[in-house]
Amino acid sequence: MTSEQILAEIKEANLTYLMLAQSLIRQDKAQALFRLGISEESADLLETLSPAQVMKLASGNMLLCRFRADDNMVWSLLTNHNVQGRAANDATTRLHANIVMSGRFADAAS
């Protein structure tokens, strides 16, 4: 993949993320805060962006969203691999991952 292709992909991801974020925030702000893992102040700002501002932000060369699963334990849970290498119950492991990430969001919000 060339540098130009990577930049185009980043811009597309940014635009998609910003549009999704605005839609979620306008639909249900509390749920958007949880799902996006952002602060209320960030949500307020994103909600008020004009289409021109969204396009300008999206056109940067820095990815605006990030992975919330940022450690080995959460990735192991999300990929359904436990420490012993045995596959676990998919619903249980996803629930566990959601609880871990929710707890992190609650800590960050307080």
- Domain boundary (51, 66, 81) is at 66
What's the token pair of residue 30? 């509390």
CATH number of the domain enclosing 47: 1.10.4000.10
Give the phi and the psi of residue 54 in degrees, each rounded to 5: -60, -45
One domain for residues 61 and 75? no
pLDDT for 37 equals 86
Give the integer Cα–Cα distance in Å for 99 and 103: 6
91 is in which domain, residue-wise? 67-110
Same domain for 50 and 17? yes
Give the mean model confidence (pLDDT) for residues 5-33.
Answer: 96
Per-residue pLDDT band at 108 (split at 50, 70, 90): low
Task: Answer yes or no: do 18 and 34 share one domain.
Answer: yes
Q: How far is CA 56 from CA 12, 18, 31, in A?
A: 12, 11, 26
Q: How far is Cα 26 from Cα 11, in angstroms, rounded to an integer?
A: 23
